[in-house]
Amino acid sequence: MELFNSESKKIVSDPINVNNPISLQVLGICSALAVTIRLDQAIIMTLAVVFVLCSSNVILSLIRNYIPARVRIVIMLSVIASLVSVVDELLKAYLYDMSKQLSVFVGLIITNCIIMGRAEAFALKHGPSKAFLDGLGNSMGYGLIIIVVSFFRELFGAGTITLPDGGAGYVLWSIPESWYAAGYENIGLLVLSPGAFIILGLVIWIQREFAGVEEDA
Amino acid sequence: MTGIEHYLSIFTKAVFIENIVLAYFLGLCSFLAISKKIDASVGIGLAVIVVLTITAPINWFLWEFLLDKGALVWISSDFQDTDLGFLKLIVFISVIAAMVQLVEMFMERFSQSLYNSLGIFLPLIAVNCSILGGSLFMVEREYTISETVVYGFGSGVGFFLAIVALASIRYRIRYSNIPPRLRGVGMAMLLTGLLSMAFMAFSGIDL
C-alpha cells in the first residue's frame, strides 16, 4: 500500500513538526491570527483549511500535466477560489452564526499562502495520493498552531473554553465565579490583537525549540 | 454624512485605529518576509497603496452593478431577485490578479524608475491578503464609492506605516542578544505585538 509506507508517513508528519507551515515555513499567518479569539472558531477554520488544501492539492495534482507553466498561477487561484466559495456557502447554510463571526476570513483562505505555496511547491510535482497526504499534513500543522494559540487566548483572555456546535458554540468549561471572587482576573489584552501577535510569537519560539531550528536574522 | 470630516474619519480609522495589519492581521505574510530591509519595505508599502487604491473602487463597481442582490436591474427588471453574491470571491481575486498585471505593465511603460524599484513586489501583492481583505471589508461595511476610495487609500497607508515601522525596529535590534530559536519570525511577531499595542492608543479617537 503506497498510502501507508514510511515515506507517506513522513509527508504527513513533517509539516506538523519540523517543517510546520506557520512557525517554520512562515506561510498563512494572515488568517491564523484573526480566527484565534475563540477555540471553536479556530476548530472550524482548521476544518475549512483541511478541506480546501486537501481538495486543491488533489485537483491540481490530477491536472498538473495539462497546465501550461505560464498561466499556472491563474489556474491555481481559480481552483482555490471555487473551493473556498463552496466552503463559504456551506458555512452560511449550516453554521450561520459561525460564518458571521468568521466574516471575511473564510474568503481570505484564498490568499492564505499555505494553499498557493503547497500547490506550487508540491502538488504540481507529485501524484494525487501524495499531494493529498501533503495537504493533510500541512493543514493539520496549521490547525495545531492556531488551536494552541486560540486555546490560550480564550482561556486566559475570556476565561472560557468553547467547542463548536450548530449555534453560538458550546461552553465546555469556564473559570468558576469563586476564582474571580478570590481576586483572579482575565487578561483582557489577550483578546485584543496585540495578544494574538505575542502569543503566536511565543508559540513559534517554543515550536522551534522542539523542532530544533534556528534562523539567522 | 457627506462632509469632509466624514472622509477624514474613515481615513484615520483605516490608517491608525483599524490598521489593516495590526488590528485585522491582513497581509502578514509579506509583512514578515519583507520587513527585514527598510528599502524593500518602502517599496512594497508604496505598491500596496497603489494597488489597493485602484482595486477597491473597481471591485465596488463590480459588486454594485453585477454581483449584489438586485444589482442587475440596470439591464432589465427581470433580474430583480438575481443574487450573484456567491461569485464575489472568484471575481474579486481575478480582478486583483489582472489589475496587478496591468499596473505592472503601465509602470514598465511610463515610469521605468518606479518599475525598477517596485517591479519585483507587484506579483507578490496579488496574493497579499490585505488587498482582497480591503475589497471584502468594503462590501461588508456597505461603503459608497467615495468612501471606498478613501478607505482603500487609507488601508494602503496603514500597511505602509506598519511595515516601515517594523523594518526600522528590526534594523535597530540587529545586534541584540536574542535567544537563537526566537530570532527571525518569532521576534518579529513579538515586535508586531508591541507595535499593535502602541497603535491601540489611537482607538477611541473620532473626528
DSSP A46-104: HHHHHHHHHHHHHHHHHTGGGS-GGGHHHHHHHHHHHHHHHHHHHHHHH-HHHHHHHTH
Q: Is residue A2 part of a domain?
A: no
Name the burial class of residue A191, with classes exposed (0-12), middle (13-18) and buried (19+) by CB atoms within 10 angstroms of its CB. middle
Q: How confident is the model at residue B155 (pLDDT cuts 50, 70, 90)?
A: very high
Higher pLDDT, B144 or B128: B144
Identify any residues that bridge with A170 across adjacent strands, giving them in sequence order: A163
Q: Is residue A217 part of a domain?
A: no
The predicted-structure confidence for A126-173, as pLDDT tens digits, reads as follows 888 889 988 898 888 888 888 888 888 888 888 888 887 766 677 777
Q: Decide if A79 contacts A135 (C-beta within 8 A).
A: no
Q: Which of A29, A88, A194 sits opposite B193 (nearest CB)?
A: A194
Higher pLDDT, A30 or B163: B163
Q: Is residue A4 part of a domain?
A: no
Q: What is the mean pLDDT of residues B133-154?
A: 88
Cell of B75: 439591464
The per-residue pLDDT of chain B, averaged, comes to: 83
Question: Are B181 and A209 within 8 A, CB to CB?
Answer: yes
Q: Is residue A124's pLDDT more than 60? A: yes
Q: Decide if B21 contacts B31 (C-beta within 8 A).
A: yes
Q: Is residue A15 part of a domain?
A: yes
Q: Is residue A1's pLDDT more than 50? A: no
Q: Is residue A214 part of a domain?
A: no
User: Which chain A residues contact residue B128 at CB under 8 A?
Assistant: 111
pLDDT at B133: 84
Question: Are B29 and A28 within 8 A, CB to CB?
Answer: yes
For A19, the domain range is: 10-209
Q: Is residue A215 part of a domain?
A: no
The predicted-structure confidence for B45-60, as pLDDT tens digits, reads as follows 888 888 889 889 998 8
Q: Is residue A5 part of a domain?
A: no
Cell of A13: 508528519
Q: Is residue A91 part of a domain?
A: yes
The predicted-structure confidence for A80-116, as pLDDT tens digits, reads as follows 889 988 998 888 888 888 888 777 788 888 877 788 8
Tell me how many domains chain A contains. Answer: 1
Q: In whole angstroms, what is the distance from residue A197 CA to residue B3 CA?
A: 37
Question: Are A202 and B190 within 8 A, CB to CB?
Answer: yes
Q: Is residue A19's pLDDT more than 90? A: no
Q: What are the angstrom distances between the C-alpha of B109 and each of A196, B13, B43, B100, B105?
A: 43, 35, 18, 14, 6
Helix, strand, coil share (%) of chain B residues, nearest 5: 75, 0, 25
Give the 3-state secondary structure of residue B23: coil
pLDDT at A206: 87
Question: Are B186 and A201 within 8 A, CB to CB?
Answer: yes
Nearest CA in chain A to B26: A30
pLDDT at B2: 65
